[in-house]
């Protein structure tokens, strides 16, 4: 049996959330309790069995629209600061997702390791349950970012609307805000249920506490105290800033380079595009909207906000968002 046939048979047996009869590539399938589009699922199944993580690898994890683009820019700048100066940092000319690819989206299905890459960094939106086993077994480092659920939903909604500009099938089969809200509350959103995605990594970080393997952070904390977290991330990654670097304000320069306003105004992020899969084109500006805390108030009704909050209180009791 070919690889494709093997995974097609698995996928055909999974629960399905249909988007449109004319747009099956983005029908969602439930695998291990989470929902993924058909366009990514075959890669996910292959990577789960065949990807070989190395102990030196660092994985940047988080559900969709939780701050992963910004996190990638910060982590890449920390890791590569001895290779580039302020004017040659690739972050200035490339989308952060092109500097650190996302495992199940950007990598070819036959991609099995990071052996041949210069920097051992890789991103993923995968839930902890769906990570390739080698990532867990190799004890490589994981940095996980989460975000207040209402803001996560709103950011994802605006991102989906941006996709309509470059993917005709999205434009021809628009999904209403009401439908997206219903799916989010039911846990049927992309990589959802969102609350389970967060809780799995939170539990793993507690289970592996003291082993320096998982760095769990909230977008809001990173936004409110970026400099402090840049230093903490550098320590966690095994790339602490020297006293000389501190005296030369290297951490501050990284924060300034990766500041949201600066990134969103770079020419590459205003006019470039990203092609994660054949037939899928995303304008780079889709990854940069506001990056604000509390923007959900501009879109969601009080009733919807309350419904999301109730689930958050039930499933993420130990996490507090103001």
Say whether pLDDT at 11 is over 60: yes
- Residues known to be catalytic: 125
Sequence-distant (≥ 6) Cβ neighbours of residue 160 within 8 angstroms: 170, 175, 180
Average pLDDT of 143-160? 94
DSSP state at residue 296: G
Confidence of residue 1 (pLDDT cuts 50, 70, 90): very low
List, for residues 166-177, the tens digit of each pLDDT value: 767 667 777 889
164 or 264, higher pLDDT: 264
135 or 19, higher pLDDT: 135
C-alpha span between 69 and 73 (Å, rounded): 7
CATH number of this structure's domain 54-316, picked from the four choices 3.40.50.980, 3.40.50.300, 3.30.750.210, 3.40.50.720:
3.40.50.300
List, for residues 81-128, the tens digit of each pLDDT value: 999 888 889 999 888 888 898 888 776 655 655 555 567 899 999 999
pLDDT at position 7: 85
Sequence-distant (≥ 6) Cβ neighbours of residue 207 within 8 angstroms: none
Confidence of residue 2 (pLDDT cuts 50, 70, 90): very low
DSSP state at residue 58: E
C-alpha span between 130 and 48 (Å, rounded): 7
Written in H, E and C, the secondary structure of 116-165 is CCCCCEEEECCCHHHCCHHHHHCCCEEEEEECCHHHHHHHHHHHHHHHCC
């Amino acid at each position: 049996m070919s690889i494709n046939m093997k995974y097609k048979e698995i996928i055909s047996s999974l629960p399905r959330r249909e988007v449109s009869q004319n747009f099956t590539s983005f029908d969602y399938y439930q695998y291990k309790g989470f929902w993924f589009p058909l366009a990514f699922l075959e890669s996910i199944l292959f990577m789960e069995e065949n990807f070989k993580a190395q102990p030196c690898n660092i994985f940047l994890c988080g559900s969709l629209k939780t701050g992963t683009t910004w996190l990638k820019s910060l982590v890449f700048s920390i890791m590569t600061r001895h290779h580039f100066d302020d004017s040659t940092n690739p972050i200035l000319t490339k989308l952060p997702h092109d500097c650190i690819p996302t495992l199940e989206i950007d990598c070819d299905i036959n991609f099995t390791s990071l052996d041949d890459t210069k920097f051992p960094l890789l991103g993923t939106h995968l839930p902890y349950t769906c990570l390739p086993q080698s990532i867990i077994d190799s004890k490589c480092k994981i940095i996980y970012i989460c975000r207040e659920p209402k803001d996560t939903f709103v950011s994802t909604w605006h991102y989906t609307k941006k996709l309509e500009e470059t993917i005709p099938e999205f434009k021809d089969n628009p999904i209403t805000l009401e439908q997206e809200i219903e799916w989010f509350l039911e846990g049927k959103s992309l990589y959802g249920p969102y609350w389970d995605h967060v809780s799995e990594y939170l539990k793993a970080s507690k289970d592996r506490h003291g082993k320096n393997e998982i760095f769990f952070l909230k977008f809001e904390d990173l936004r409110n105290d970026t400099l402090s977290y840049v230093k903490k991330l550098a320590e966690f990654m095994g790339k602490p800033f020297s006293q000389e670097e501190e005296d030369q304000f290297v951490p501050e320069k990284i924060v300034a380079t990766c500041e949201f306003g600066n990134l969103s105004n770079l020419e590459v992020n205003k006019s470039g595009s990203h092609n994660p899969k054949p037939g899928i084109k995303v304008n780079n500006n889709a990854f940069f909207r506001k990056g604000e805390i509390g923007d959900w108030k501009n879109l969601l009704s009080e009733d919807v906000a309350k419904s999301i909050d109730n689930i958050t209180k039930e499933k993420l009791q130990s996490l507090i968002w103001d």
